[in-house]
Structure 1
Amino acid sequence: MTSLAADLRRARLIAFFLPLLLSAPFLHRAFFVDDGYFVRIATWLKDHPSAPYDFRADDAGRDTLGWEKSGFVRMVNPLAQHYYLALLLKIGGGRIWVLRLGTALLTGFGAVALFELARRWTSHPLAATALAAVSPAWWGTAHSLLIDSTMGSLMLGGVYLFIRAAETDSLGRSIASGILLGLAILSKYPAVFAFPLTAAWWFLYRKKSGRPWILVVSWVIAAGFLIGYSVWTARLYGRPHILAASARMVHEFGWPKVVVLLVFFSGACLPAFAAWLTAPRRARALALVGAAAMAFFFAGPRGGFDVVGASLLGLFIATAVLFLANVAGEYRGWIWPRDAFVAAWIFGFFAMMLSVMDWVAVRYYFIVAPAAAIAAVRLVEQTAAAPRRILAVLLAGSFLVGGAVVYADYRQAEASRALVADLRAGGFTGGPRHFYLGDSFTMSYLRAEGWSPCFADTRLEPGDWILASEVTMPLVWLNREPVTLKPLVSFDFPTRFPIKVMDYAGSAGFYASVWGALPYTWSRGPWERYQLYQVVARRENG
């Protein structure tokens, strides 16, 4: 084996194992947000693979069906990821760390695909791979049981093979690309973004391709996966799943969403901060003034944020705008088609996100983080006299911030599991009228202890117990309930660590911007605080 081949093999192994090493300390993380929900679905699929949406879960109601008999779809995603989790459940016997390792392995394969793209388009491919891997969008999602890492890794592999098929006129690579893209789409529908994305490469590369028809094979196979799933679900439930779920996925444009998209972009994709080192001096000065002006506005009476939250909003928005302007502004120095394709990837992602969902989450940026990392490295290579030094600084800063965010995620998730032991120690056992609030999936550990989930349509009566979370996802509708509550006891999980990923008071909504306009925040509060109340009276005319 030549020295060059050995170096390439070593670099690929580093790329593959990097996400696994980053995730290794967090494989025992407690369920958080939809983790428990997806395990419940996978447990159902393990024994009932031919009835995919007949599972029951506490989704906006107790033991609701994934696809209601009325036609209402609660689970808006296809289930390829959940079938994969079901397979892992069979292999690992229900061990959660096996499930988390399984999703991290897929991210490892995605990292190899990213490395292969980066080594064609940059002079520092491992730096680009590492910048994506340590960003919250990747690091915080790789070992979660959420869908985006599976979808993103499969999509990234499919895009890479599509590009290689174009470069080599390879029918085999085109077929493999179509299979991976099809599986990505059946993990989560936003992977259809791969169609316009690969079409952009086909257009940019068309004059160099000897047999462009080969690439159509990839699209046909990927579309075949989607059509096949739609036909199957239509036979089972009377309507194709993608059509039944579309009403909950496509939404109207709104300027607040643009702002939140920008905020979460630079918070989730830390390579965007490279623009503060690579953009023209005047652009950086304008961005700094803009960040200060926005912080002043958001901290004012019309903004309503505290100084920390307002400052972070200003910083994240200014960083995103500066980075996007920097990417577009360097078009004269682009090397075609690669730099044009990366720009199309980034801006195309924004165009797609403006039409789907009313809210965003850090994990949604998994599919654009590779492009952001490659673009950041290219900007450094184009503008810096000592690119390695700049990339080292950028990578070190990204590692520190990304690590702090993922650690905070781990500790905030752990609170719901640790709460069970505290309740037992205090003699507060479950019962049919002992309810828990907060996210019904995050709090699912209490379900096994005999507690019941409480929803907006639950009628509360005197004597009921209500256990409410106050930091991550408090349910504000409780304040409107016509009941009088008596505090019984509180359970605090204090910390001096300043980063929080979910903090309602601090406007941090890592998992959904409906909980906060920031991807994470700086807070002196606890990881979580639970308050146990007893209903002492009900006001019928309240």
Structure 2
Amino acid sequence: MVSRKAGAVLVSRAAIALFAIAINIPFVNQAFHMDDGIFLIAAKNVSHNPLFPQDLPVLFEGVSVADLGSTEHPPLTVYFMALCGAIGGFSELGLHLGFLVFPVILGIATHSLAHRFTSHPTMVAIAVLCLPVVYVMSHTLMSDLPLVALWTAAVALFVHGVDSGQLKWIAAGGVVAALVAFISYAGLCLVPLLGLYALLHRSRSGLFLALLPLAAFGSWLVVSFFHYGRFTPSFLLSHYLLVEKVLSPTLISRKLIYALVFLGGITIFPLALIALSKKWRILTGLLVGTLIVNLLPLVADYRFAHKFLFVALFTAGSVAVWEIVQKAATAVYALRERHRPQRRLSDSPLFGELYRNPAPLDDLFLGVWFLGVVVFCVLFYLTGAARYLLPATPALVLLMMRRAEEAVIPKMQPLAIATATFTGLTALGLAVADYQFAEIYRSFAENFAMAHQVSTKTAWFSGEWGFRTYLERAGARQLGRRDPRPQLGDLLIVPTLATPYDTLFSDRLSLDATVLIAPSRVVFDVPTMSADQSLCLTVGMPIHDKSDGVSFIIDFLSPQGRHPLRQTLLLPQDGRRWSVWEIPLTELKGQKGRISFSAAVNSSGNADADWVAFGRAHISETHGSRKEVIYDFLAHFQEARIEPEPGIHYHTPGNNAVFPLTVWLEQQPTKVLLKKHAYRPAWPVRLMDADAHAGFWSMGWGMLPYSISNRDGALESISVYTVCRRVDGYGETNPRWAPTWQIN
């Protein structure tokens, strides 16, 4: 028979579950957003490859990858999405209804922890569900909310098991923690956290079962290694640590500022965080925030309103972290003193109260939970995006509630009401803004075919997020970065915000080129010439803006003498743009010799920045409508003879006069603008905008979690072009272009 107290707890948790569903139901038809589409592609592959659904070729941000096995997200979210799709279809409505289970789990798990650590469990659970970052992420299909929901559930089960001494609950917590590790690599942080709780409460079984996620995840890595033929996290780790340099001091300091501002703005409303802190901490936060506003380039250009908002949020986040650090440090000191019997800690007025009750254990555990997540995010993520901090939010609310219960603050009830009201309104405003933002791409795709009469044309796009998802549904095809497939008359669609990337059709083109600095020459031994051969190359000036022109000479050298092929004075206005040259070699039929490329100083005698670059250089032979490449110059660069001018200092590494280099220059127009679609969501609260670049997602754009739009600037602009010139695809890698995945 259930006791009255236990019955009340069950009723409270049922009410929390209903509350979680009720507040999120209005958003179940939200458009696919951000990375939802990538998870959806893998989920649809479960029926084809149930053991390794991420083993499929895709284009992501224009780069062809063989599989998704090296992402930071193991496939548990993908499996759950596939289950939802099998039950309710892969529509927005069906998937979002299925994902409502995660706010429910989060609410119930938080209530369980709050019942253990505070006197107001229902208030804490509701507060967590209404945090702006939690509420907004509850309407997406990415792994962020499943991560925090199962993370909190694992902690709740494990804590209950250790406290009650029941092995089944400890084991349940370990199993759920293992599931968390299969959502994100960050979930492995639960292992030391659960181990700490078991250690503090002297639970040997807890210490053993806390290792369960490591055992399960390690087994999966072994299986994945034999399937993919590589250690799947290796690419991610090397990219983050060696390429992006996530541990560089500059990037760490920037991410720390992100984290503090977001903690102050999208968790508990700043009023509560500031009210619970001491005045000197508030003043310190205001001072440091003001210095950052005036010194940091990302923030220095903000309008006054945004600067004020930045300082307020930075102060709130700073004092919250400060409070938690002090609480954890005090707990550590108190616990250390407990193990010194020769001293009576209870005689200390500062630590006497801690000595007489178990609060230090709880403060230390919750503090390590919160601070551990923040430190992990600051160290190992690329940006300080708010959603990365999600696993820290339950601990933050629990700690702040414990702080409020200890504090004696006049008019505490009005403060609590004001905090709840403003936090809820902020969450609702951001959720509406996010809904409108996601809707941009669904609306564009639905109207695109009619607006541009695409039935007889192929449409291509370069971008990600929901932009990709809905254009693929409309029949458009993703364009690779070095993809020459679009034909004359095809359509090309490019967003401003949805991670656009450069392609062969961009205004600026990068080529792997050979660079000559005047005066110098490079000579290549070439095969015997035939009548149907021609020399093709693309020419430009890498430092055209600092040059007054350079002579570029191409000769054929043979025992019969020197045969000029082309001599041109490249001027800056011409060299700023790639130009394509095709030189017939008909007159050289049957001759064996060398081709030389020379750069010479023009008549002015000024050699400053006289650089010439030529790329895609090759000799081809025509066979009807087909061309066969006979000789590639860049491929034979190591065999070429480089002839610098004696006595010249070229101011390059090794004093090289000729060297290979990737060069970016403008190219001849490849497309003509048909129409630019500008989208201005009606809701004034913005997750990001074109003026302040305030970004809830951060992504490196700005350092505010939200802003108020008071200008007529478009949030997103989508340009539609028609292809007016075929691009030269010579020398480009030709990967197996990924299939177009239709999302029905």
Q: Same fold (TM over 0.5)?
A: yes
Classify 1:23/1:114 alpha carbon distance in 2 versus 1 (closer, same or farther; 3 Å).
same
Matching residue of 1:393: 418
Q: 1:174 to 1:403 in 2, by over 3 A?
A: same
Which amino acid in structure 2 is aligned with residue 156 of structure 1? T
Mark the CA change 1:402 to 1:336 in structure 2 (over 3 Å): closer, same or farther: same
Matched, 1:418 2:443: yes
Does structure 2 conserve the Cα–Cα contact (< 8 Å) formed by 1:473 and 1:515?
no
Residue 239 of structure 1 deviates from its aligned partner by 2.8
Structure 2 counterpart SS, 1:409:
helix
What residue in structure 1 maps to residue 21 of structure 2? Answer: 20
Q: What is the one-letter code of the residue matched to 2:393?
A: A
**Corresponding residue for residue 687 of structure 2:** 501
Match of 1:42 in 2: 43
Q: Which residue of 2 aligns with 1:488?
A: 674
Aligned to 1:382: 406
Provide the residue aligned with 1:209 in structure 2. Answer: none
Going from structure 1 to structure 2, the CA distance change for 1:294 and 1:433 (only over 3 Å counts) comes to same
1:320 and 2:352 aligned: no
Q: What's the CA shift for 1:179?
A: 0.7
Residue 498 of structure 1, CA deviation: 1.7
Whether the aligned pair in 1 keeps the contact of 2:446 and 2:474 (CA below 8 Å) is: no
Distance 2:668 2:198 in 1: 62
Which whole-Å CA distance do the structure 2 matches of 1:504 and 1:479 have between them? Answer: 22
Give yes or no for the alignment of 1:529 onto 2:529. Answer: no
Please say which of residues 301-310 and 229-238 is displaced more in the overlay: 301-310
Deviation, structure 1 residue 468: 2.3
Instruction: Find the counterpart in structure 2 of residue 349 from structure 1.
Output: 373
* Conservation of the 8 A alpha-carbon contact between 2:687 and 2:705: yes
**1:335-377 C-alpha deviation (Å, 9 max, x unpaired):** 2211222111111112212331222322212211101111221
Change in 2 beyond 3 A, CA 1:174/1:439: same
Answering whether residue 269 of structure 2 is matched by residue 241 of structure 1, we say no
Aligned identity (percent) is 20
Unaligned stretches of 5+ residues in structure 1: 68-72, 207-211
1:75 and 1:83 mapped to 2: Cα distance?
15
| Other-structure match for 1:29 | 30
- Residue identity in the other structure for 1:489: K
| Correspondence for 1:465 among 443, 466, 491 | 491
CA distance in 2: counterparts of 1:154 and 1:215, whole angstroms: 18
Distance 2:262 2:716 in 1: 23
> Any residues of structure 2 matched to 1:434-473 within 5 Å, and which?
434-439=459-464, 442-459=467-484, 463-471=489-497, 473=499
Alpha carbons 2:62, 2:480 under 8 Å: kept: yes
Deviations 1:300-342 (A, max 9, x none): 7983334444333333322211111123345467622112221
Amino acid at match of 1:125: P
Structure holding more strand per residue: 2
Deviation of the 1:257 alpha carbon:
2.0
Pick from 360, 364, 388 the counterpart of residue 340 of structure 1: 364
CA contact (8 A) 2:694 2:706 kept: yes
Question: 2:106·2:153 contact (CA, 8 Å) conserved in 1?
Answer: yes
- Further displaced range: 498-507 or 477-486: 477-486
The number of residues matched between the two structures is 529
Q: Could you tell me which amino acid in structure 2 is paired with residue 533 of structure 1? A: Y
Q: Which amino acid aligns with 2:73?
A: N
Cα distance in 1 between the residues matched to 2:231 and 2:361 = 37
Q: CA deviation at 1:34?
A: 0.8
Structure 2 segments unaligned to the other structure (5+ residues): 331-349, 510-666, 729-744
Counterpart Cα distance in 2 of 1:349 and 1:423: 43
Structure 1 residue 222: Cα displacement: 1.7
Structure 1 residues 143 and 479: CA distance shift in structure 2, 3 A: same
Given that 1:431 and 1:451 are in contact with CA atoms closer than 8 Å, whether structure 2 keeps it comes out as: no
TM-score by length of 1: 0.89
The normalised TM-score by structure 2 is: 0.66
After TM superposition, give the deviation of residue 538 of structure 1 in Å: 8.2
- The one-letter code sitting in structure 2 at the alignment partner of 1:418 is S
> Contact conserved, 2:191 with 2:214, CA < 8 A, in 1?
no
Deviations 1:237-275 (A, max 9, x none): 123433454324553143222222222333332356522
Q: Secondary structure at the match of 1:46?
A: coil
Structure 1 Cα separation of the partners of residues 129 and 267 of structure 2: 10
Deviations 1:403-451 (A, max 9, x none): 1111111111011011123223323426765322332653221123232
Q: 1:280 to 1:498 in 2, by over 3 A?
A: same
Residues 115 and 32 of structure 1, relative CA distance in 2, 3 Å threshold:
same
Shift of 1:486: 3.6
Instruction: Tell me, yes or no, if the aligned pair for 2:109 and 2:153 is still in contact at 8 Å.
Output: yes
Q: What code does the residue aligned with 2:148 have? A: G
What corresponds to 2:102 in structure 1?
A: 106
Are the counterparts in 1 of residues 441 and 467 from structure 2 also a CA contact under 8 Å? Answer: yes
CA distance, structure 2, for counterparts of residue 398 and residue 367 of structure 1: 18
Whether contact under 8 Å (2:64, 2:480) holds in the other structure is: no
Distance in 2 between the 1:100 and 1:294 partners? 40
Cα offset, 1:30, TM superposition: 0.7
Residue deviations 1:81-122, cap 9 Å, x none?
111111111111323322222222122112211111112211
User: Closer, same or farther in 2 for the Cα pair 1:172/1:392, shift >3 Å?
Assistant: same
What CA distance in whole angstroms lies between the structure 2 residues aligned with 1:502 and 1:463? 34
User: Whole-Å Cα distance in 2 between the matches of residues 221 and 431 of structure 1?
Assistant: 57
- CA–CA distance in 1 between the matches of 2:79 and 2:723? 42
Code of the aligned partner of 1:119: H
State the match for 1:70 in structure 2: none
Give the aligned residue type for 1:137.
Answer: V
Structure with the larger helix share: 1
8 Å CA contact 2:154, 2:174 repeated in 1: yes
* Cross-structure match for 1:221: 212
Higher Cα Rg: structure 1 or 2?
2
Q: Secondary structure at the match of 2:379?
A: coil
Q: Return the letter of the residue paired with 1:532.
A: V
Structure 1 residues 361, 430: CA separation in 2 closer, same or farther (over 3 Å shift)? farther
Contact 1:268 1:365 in 2 (8 A): no
* Residue in structure 1 matched with residue 345 of structure 2 by the alignment: none
| Inter-CA distance 10–389: structure 2 relative to 1 (3 Å threshold) | farther
CA contact (8 A) 1:466 1:532 kept: yes
1:255–1:432 Cα change, 3 Å: farther
